[in-house]
A = this chain, B = another copy of it.
Amino acid sequence: MASPTDLVSEALSGSVRALAKLITMVENELPGAVEALQQLYPKTGHAYIIGITGPPGSGKSTLTDKITKQLRKKEYTVGIVAVDPTSPFTGGALLGDRLRMQDVTNDAGVFVRSMATRGTLGGLSKATADTIKILDAFGKDFILIETVGVGQDEVDIVKTADTTLLISVPGLGDEIQALKAGIMEIGDIFVVNKADREGADRLVTELSLMLDLSPTTSPWRPPVIKTIAPTGEGVPELIEKILMHQQFLQSGQGLSKKRNERARGEIINLIEQEISKYIHKMLKYDLPFDEVIEQVVARKKDPYSFAHKVTEPFAKYYQIYKVDKPKS
């Protein structure tokens, strides 16, 4: 098997095969994954990341493909990461859609990767973040993350984007009500897809009204765009708004602020995962953990006191390093 360094240099000189292998390596946390990411990291930061989210049936995949085609017309290269948490009841609908939409995948300027493994080590959002970095280092101008917006995980994934499109469709019922529940603030551009359906104009009006009423200090007022993905109607206007939002972010502190926040979150995740590995090993080997569990189940010990006991040395380390007070 090729070394991480070989794979990295092959990918950086344009090998799609090496690129795919690197993603698999990272997704499964195979040996060499961290080394490869360390080597690739300095080459990242060029790509612009677009998040595309919406409920099942809102036409995200078709829209992603149309956006991709428009970007290709402008000679941008594109990476697509389709994140499907394979929710137990919806199966893998997104991936099914992806398979049906193969026209963009025959274009060498487009690389499509699906993330569906529920059991991905380190979590789906880490795998997605790492894949984005690899595609970024590979030289893609735009990376589209497409995800079903049904849970907190997926929202977290799409939050890592520079520009987020929130897709809704008329007739799914209670759209506005649902948007209120906490997703409104992640949308930079609101897309009413399937705009040839009844109720599209009303949905646009309701979204606009809600945006006008929402308490925000940002000078960016998210536009509401109507599209009909299969015919491509509205997609050029959507691209225009995406580029406007990009310019908006680049002109002020917006983009660097977003990217700082993203780096902060990522570092914290990395640290937590590393520590978590030690804890798992520790519980496996050091302590008579099985006995402890028996005692907890028998109500002779409580789990809270035991957890406290295990973490005490960490707490001590933390005090030695005098981190309980802000530095003067």
Contacts of A308 in B (CB 8 A): 274
Identify the A interface with B (CB < 8 A).
34, 37-38, 41-42, 44-45, 54-55, 85-92, 118, 149-153, 155, 174, 177-183, 256, 259-260, 263-264, 266-268, 270-272, 274-276, 278-286, 289, 292-294, 296-297, 299, 302-308, 310-311, 313-315, 317-318, 321-327
Contacts of A307 in B (CB 8 A): 267, 270-271, 274
Contacts of A38 in B (CB 8 A): 302, 304-305
**Is A318 a contact of B178 with CB atoms below 8 Å?**
no
Contacts of A87 in B (CB 8 A): 150-152, 181
Contacts of A45 in B (CB 8 A): 297, 299
**Is A182 a contact of B323 with CB atoms below 8 Å?**
no
**Is A292 a contact of B267 with CB atoms below 8 Å?**
yes
**Is B326 a contact of A86 with CB atoms below 8 Å?**
no
Q: Roughly how many angstroms separate A296 CA and B37 CA in the complex, as a whole number?
A: 13
Contacts of A152 in B (CB 8 A): 85, 87-88, 118, 153
Task: Give min CB distance, A271 to chain B, whole Å.
Answer: 5
Closest to A181 in B: B91
**Is A322 a contact of B153 with CB atoms below 8 Å?**
no
With A150-B151, A292-B267, A324-B285 as contacts: A88 and B183 at CB distance below 8 Å: yes
Task: Give min CB distance, A182 to chain B, whole Å.
Answer: 6
Closest to A294 in B: B260
Contacts of A91 in B (CB 8 A): 174, 177-178, 180-181
Q: Roughly how many angstroms separate A317 CA and B313 CA in the complex, as a whole number?
A: 8
**Is A268 a contact of B280 with CB atoms below 8 Å?**
yes
Q: Roughly how many angstroms separate A92 CA and B153 CA in the complex, as a whole number?
A: 17
Contacts of A285 in B (CB 8 A): 323-327
Interface residue from B85, B177, B280 paired with A151 (Cβ < 8 Å): B85
**Is A37 a contact of B302 with CB atoms below 8 Å?**
yes
Task: Give min CB distance, A22 to chain B, whole Å.
Answer: 14
Task: Give min CB distance, A46 to chain B, whole Å.
Answer: 10
**Is B118 a contact of A182 with CB atoms below 8 Å?**
yes
**Is B180 a contact of A281 with CB atoms below 8 Å?**
no
Interface residue from B54, B86, B317 paired with A181 (Cβ < 8 Å): B86
